[in-house]
Amino acid sequence: MSYLFTSESVAEGHPDKVADQISDALIDNFLAFDANSKVACETLVTTGLTVLSGEVKSQAYLDVQQIAREVIERIGYNRGEYMFDANSCGVISAIHEQSPDINQGVDREEPEEQGAGDQGMMFGYATSESENFMPLALDLSHKILRELAKLRRENKEIQYLRPDAKSQVTIEYSDDNRPKRIEAIVISTQHDDFGGEAEMLAKIREDMINILMPRVVAQLKPELQGLFNGSIKYHINPTGKFVIGGPHGDTGLTGRKIIVDTYGGKGAHGGGAFSGKDPSKVDRSAAYATRHIAKNLVAAGVADEMLVQVSYAIGVAEPMGIYVNTYNKSKVNLTDGEIAEKIGGIFDLRPYAIEQRLKLRSPIYSDTAAYGHMGREPEIKKLKFTNTNGEEVIHEVETFTWEKLDYVDKIKEAFKDDFK
């Protein structure tokens, strides 16, 4: 029997995502001036106020208030009527030095023996149902909001958009777990106050369906375009007008959108957020590493769908264990436990090895803080950072390295005698 599955996304102007982006901008700036920085920072945003907190061990000295304002400006909160804007909101910093009790479990004389920055379990997931090996409902939800943000910044076809927004996509799957059609799409977008409420809602609905969605569908391959038909149920701003939004409408905190950040409810999640954490925190680095593993194994044809778990003890380099679930979609004559054992021989999952393999001690994290950490395109770019003394540094970085399919050949070689 067919079934429905739903995933949601939130825009860069959503208050929780504002907080995530500020926290990751702080990470990037600390790493830009001191690649060995240890940072765990949280951000709270609310009406007219941003609060920065957390622990830092770094040789860099930054104007963290200015960094926060630059992020808020870039997102688009730059008008006083939003009741939260880059120039006038208060910014309070309560960032302090990292506890030596935590640091002693991480730093080692031999870098490769670096201990995990925390205990816990992390998951990576991949599926062959989409081109980027992501769950389709989440991928479409992200695409809707990225295109909505482009329309807002263009300010041509639609001129009333404000930064806050959410989307949700429900897909009907067949008995063999293949997407059949789009059942429903929800879009809630913040907007200027114009005309009467009925007029506003009618205009917004018309623009979302007739301007936004065709631009989204045009990005898709023909087989995915076929999932969109005239029977889709659209819920556009279903609560009514959405003028009050962003941090004025709802307080935002770092780390509250962990399912949006990962797989939209598919697979599993260990519970640890990513944003605001340097790569010594395995909540972040090991989640990227397991995504890299799962994606490369699915791309190599080991399975059509795969979940990979790794777990750690704080201060210990070697993982506690590796777990694999192929959901009975394995294409090799091995048990999931045997696949997990092979993974341990291909990928070094010690924290230092993960940092080196995925180039994680670089200022690459601001790009991750909105529209998902997974399923994105790797890119080489040059970034410029300026500190409080006016010193400038330029870094050439590679983003989303965990999305590269650079281990497919190694995996095929390792499993060459095991394929069915």
Rounded CA-CA distance 407/65 in Å is 41
Binding-site residues for K(+): 42
**Strand boundaries in 132-274, DSSP class E:** 161-173, 179-191, 233-236, 252-253
Judge contact between 114 and 107, C-beta under 8 A. Answer: yes
Residue given tokens 């429900």 in the structure block: 170
**Please, are residues 119 and 268 in contact by the beta-carbon 8 Å criterion?**
no
Binding-site residues: 14, 16, 42, 55, 98, 164-166, 241-242, 250, 256-257, 273, 277, 281
Non-local CB neighbours of 210 within 8 Å, separated by 6+ positions: none
d(CA 373, CA 142): 11
Q: Which residues touch 25 (CB under 8 Å, ≥6 apart)?
A: 67, 68, 70, 71, 366, 369
Residue of 251, 250, 247 lying closest to 84 (CA atoms): 247
Residues annotated within a binding site for L-methionine:
55, 98, 250, 281
Q: How far apart are the first and last CA of the chain?
A: 28
For the beta carbon of residue 198, count every other beta carbon within 10 angstroms: 10
Output the known binding site for ATP: 14, 164-166, 241-242, 250, 256-257, 273, 277
Q: What is the dihedral of CA 30, 31, 37, 38, to 10 degrees?
A: 90
Contact in structure between 182 and 26 (CB atoms under 8 Å)? no
Confirm if 363 and 31 have CB atoms less than 8 A apart.
Answer: yes
CB within 8 Å of 235: residues ≥ 6 apart: 184, 185, 186, 187
Q: How far apart are CA 130 and CA 298, in angstroms?
A: 11
Token pair for 125: 């997931």
Determine the Cα–Cα distance for residues 274 and 124; give it in Å rounded to an integer. Answer: 13
Judging by beta carbons within 10 Å of its beta carbon (0-12, 13-18, 19+), is residue 123 exposed, middle or buried? buried
CA angle 244, 165, 208 (to 5 degrees): 110
Please state, in angstroms and rounded to a whole number, the distance separating the CA atoms of residues 291 and 337: 18
CB of 289 within 8 A of CB of 128?
A: no
